[in-house]
Structure formats: C-alpha cells, structure tokens
Amino acid sequence: MDATAGGDGGFLSRSHLGDSGAGLAVLALRLQQPVDLEAVSVRVVGGGKQAAYMPGEKVVSAANEIFGFHCWSDEIKKMEVDYCVQDETKKWCALLRA
C-alpha cells in the first residue's frame, strides 16, 4: 500500500516519486528535516571524549520512513579495521569503520 509524505506513516514510494519534479521536491523536503535527537546515542571514546552516533537499526528505520520499505538500498564501498585484539579468554574486540 502506498502512502504519500502527508499520509499515514509518512512513507514515500517509487510510484509517488516517479519522474515528477513534485515527487522529488517532497523527497528533498523530507531529507532536509533535522535528525531526531532521540535516535542519537552517545558513547565514550578514547581520551574520555564522547562521540555521538546513530545506531544502525535507527538508520534503517529512518530510511524506511523517508523512502519507503524496500525502496532503498545500501552498499559498503570501503571498510577499514581501526582496532582488533584478542583478549585472554580468546574473545575478539574489533572496531571497524565503513
């Protein structure tokens, strides 16, 4: 079921975007909205500093709200290992950047 940006759920579908300037204008307006600060988490990083981030499941949820379920995709273009160690219990701790 398709719903427009003003309809229930706020979803946009490919059929609503189409090739029309109006559909793209609605999408542009949705993308210009500020990030919901309740979706942002904070964690302590090196040197006792704090880093704000948005957990993956919240990013997926936001993309579904903006573009519609199954109307978007993602691709990892580059991934780097910043940190990787094995502790005394043989468990690995790794920090990856994508």
What is the residue extent of each domain of the chain?
8-97
Distance CA 72, CA 63 (A): 7
The CATH number of 8-97 is 3.30.390.80
**What's the number of CA atoms in the CB half-sphere (13 Å) around residue 35?**
12
User: Could you tell me the pTM of the whole model?
Assistant: 0.55
Q: What is the pLDDT of residues 15-56, one digit of tens each?
A: 555 556 777 888 888 889 888 888 899 988 878 888 898 888
Q: What is the pLDDT of residues 52-92, one digit of tens each?
A: 988 888 989 888 888 888 888 888 889 999 888 888 898 88
